[in-house]
Amino acid sequence: MKTEVILTHNIVGLGGESDQVKVSAGYARNYLFPHSLAIPVTQANKRRLEALRQRRAEREAHEFNTMSELSKGLAKLTCVLKVKAGEDGKMFGAVTAGMIADELKHQFDVSLEKRRIHLDHPIKTLGEYEVELHLHAEVKGTLKVRVESTTPAAPLETIATDGKTEAPRTEKRGRRTDKVEAAPEAAEKKPATKAEKAARPERKPKTDKPAKAE
């Protein structure tokens, strides 16, 4: 069984202040009326409609101004998220709207419902992104998001050779310590020819020195 009520507060999915809506009698009796979220449709209560409409207009104007200012502020920010990723830049997991909302709160103390962060699909690669925000029915904005890896990058001085990474060779200045090839002194001597032997001067025989007198 349905009954008609006048909402006194904004209820997501149902309506705003001053709206007349039909709901189940049990829902109205057990939830809306006890929590002062709605009132029955009577002649006396209809007189309150103007006050409710005025309050609703003020609330919506405040929300519009607040979200417009928030949109301008968020457009100047860059939200950085640190994630685990492999050497090829592929992430272990994905960045979701909930993660972005958490980082906004952590980094900038900005509270934003994740449903207002619009992602066509979760972010799965490192880089910079411009995320669309649905802040209000009439206010949209953007937020810069940069996804970085927590894995430290390889040192710049490393050199890649044939797909392998090796440390560069450093040249020491100063005295050269290269080993010089020994002269071929130990090479085998060729036997002398007869002509060379004949040209050599004959060695004088050794003579015994005279013994010293005692």
Q: Where are the domains of the chain?
A: 2-68, 72-149
Spell out the CATH class of 72-149: alpha beta
**CATH level 3 topology of 2-68:** Ribosomal Protein L9; domain 1 (3.40.5)
Closest CA to 149 of 187, 101, 93, 70: 93
Q: Locate 54 and state its tokens.
A: 């005025």
Q: Per-residue pLDDT tens for 158-209? A: 444 444 544 445 444 444 444 444 444 444 555 555 555 555 555 555 545 5
Strand pairing category for 117-118 and 127-136: antiparallel
Q: pTM of this prediction?
A: 0.58
Strand pairing category for 78-83 and 139-149: parallel
The whole-angstrom separation of Cα 24 and Cα 199 is 137
Name the 3-class secondary structure at 111.
coil
Q: Is 177 exposed, middle or buried (0-12, 13-18, 19+ CB in 10 A)?
A: exposed
Q: Per-residue pLDDT tens for 22-59? A: 999 999 999 999 999 999 998 888 888 888 999 999 99
